Amino acid sequence: MSRDFYQAPEREGTARILFVGDVVGRPGRRVLQRLLQELIDERLIDYVIVNVENSAGGIGVTPDVIREFDALPIHCYSSGNHIWDKREGLPLLDKHEKLLRPANYPGTNPGTGLHVGETAAGIKVATLNLEGQVFMKNLHSPFEVAERVLEELDDEVKIVIVDFHAEATSEKQAMGFFLDGKVSAVFGTHTHVPTADERILSGGTALITDVGMTGPYDGIIGFRVKEVLQRFATQRNVSLQVAKKDLRLAGAVVDVDVATGHAVAIERLLIPVTL
């Protein structure tokens, strides 16, 4: 729903979760540094999750980039297929408890796909990171992995947020319906293009197919037009450069009933910023 139609519920008995879509390169990091605390204060955010898989030069993460994020009020970092793209970032998956990789990669890989944190009020929030199969890698079924992880999750954890990093709209919507009533929200990531289909399903799960990207919108999914067009025109692996202008923060805010774990409101965000 657009902001004009958004009506926040009474705050008593709810937790407000901010999910920020794929942060792209240094421009995206600057947007987060500029807007995050202000957004938390204005919207009374209780818990923050940020997808960081594109945060280091457009692909992957590095120790220096994670240190930048650690200086911000972020509770959990989700990711996707590009989390493996910076060799120096791989050790972080075992060392940094807040940094996730999709749970349906083979277990021999470093890291984990589940994080359980707490709000300042002591309310537990689980973040589950999954990756799609359609048009992507031949991974374990995200549907089967989601079921297994949720069965093993402590019953006292009522709020569960899923970052489903997937290419196909149909697969992301299918995950939302598959998990309806079992998780608080399914946030689609990966395509970098925000969709306008945010809703709360009948079982109480909030769903949006893709929250979009945080970074420069003057290019093609965050990258300079010139090199992307060269890739399409030549069919060669031309090195991409992160774009720089028309900066925006993309994400979603969901209000969750702390007793049931059901979503009671969802708002899509696309906020321009001048630095």
Distance CA 132, CA 170 (A): 11
Q: pLDDT value at position 137?
A: 87
- Structure-token match 């709810």, residue found: 14
Q: Are strands 76-78 and 47-51 parallel, antiparallel or unpaired?
A: parallel
Mean pLDDT for the stretch of residues 194-222: 97
Q: State residue 267 phi and psi, 5-degree precision.
A: -135, 130
Q: Give 6's pLDDT tier (boundaries 50, 70, 90).
A: very low
Mean pLDDT for the stretch of residues 5-19: 72
Q: pLDDT value at position 12?
A: 77
Asked if 161 contacts 125 with a C-beta cutoff of 8 angstroms, the reply is: yes
Mean pLDDT for the stretch of residues 82-104: 97
Question: Which one from 82, 115, 165, 262 is the annotated catalytic residue?
Answer: 82
The continuous run of DSSP H or E covering 14 comes out as strand 14-20
Which pair of tokens denotes residue 227?
Answer: 């090199």
Asked if 208 contacts 169 with a C-beta cutoff of 8 angstroms, the reply is: no
Q: Give 28's pLDDT tier (boundaries 50, 70, 90).
A: very high
Which pair of tokens denotes residue 25?
Answer: 């390169």
Asked if 121 contacts 14 with a C-beta cutoff of 8 angstroms, the reply is: no
What's the pLDDT tens digit per position in 134-191?
A: 999 899 999 999 999 999 999 999 999 999 999 999 999 999 999 999 999 999 999 9
Distance CA 251, CA 45 (A): 13
Q: pLDDT value at position 9?
A: 46
Mean pLDDT for the stretch of residues 223-233: 95
Average pLDDT, the chain: 95
Counted residue by residue, the chain has a size of 275
Q: Which amino acid is at 17?
A: I
Q: pLDDT value at position 11?
A: 66
192 carries an active-site annotation:
no
**Percent of the chain scored above 90 by pLDDT?**
94
Is the pLDDT at 8 greater than 90? The verdict is no
Q: Give 10's pLDDT tier (boundaries 50, 70, 90).
A: low
Mean pLDDT for the stretch of residues 30-55: 97
Grouping H, G, I as helix, E, B as strand and the rest as coil, residue 185 is strand
Asked if 23 contacts 273 with a C-beta cutoff of 8 angstroms, the reply is: no
Grouping H, G, I as helix, E, B as strand and the rest as coil, residue 223 is strand
- Structure-token match 């999910």, residue found: 19
- Structure-token match 């979009």, residue found: 212
Q: Which pTM value belongs to this model?
A: 0.94
Q: Give CA separation, 120 vs 67, 76, 246, 263, 271, in Å.
A: 22, 14, 34, 19, 26
Q: pLDDT: is 4 or 149 the higher one? A: 149
Is the pLDDT at 7 greater than 70? The verdict is no
Q: Give CA separation, 184 vs 13, 17, 171, in Å.
A: 14, 10, 18
**Domains, the chain:** 13-272 (3.60.21.10)
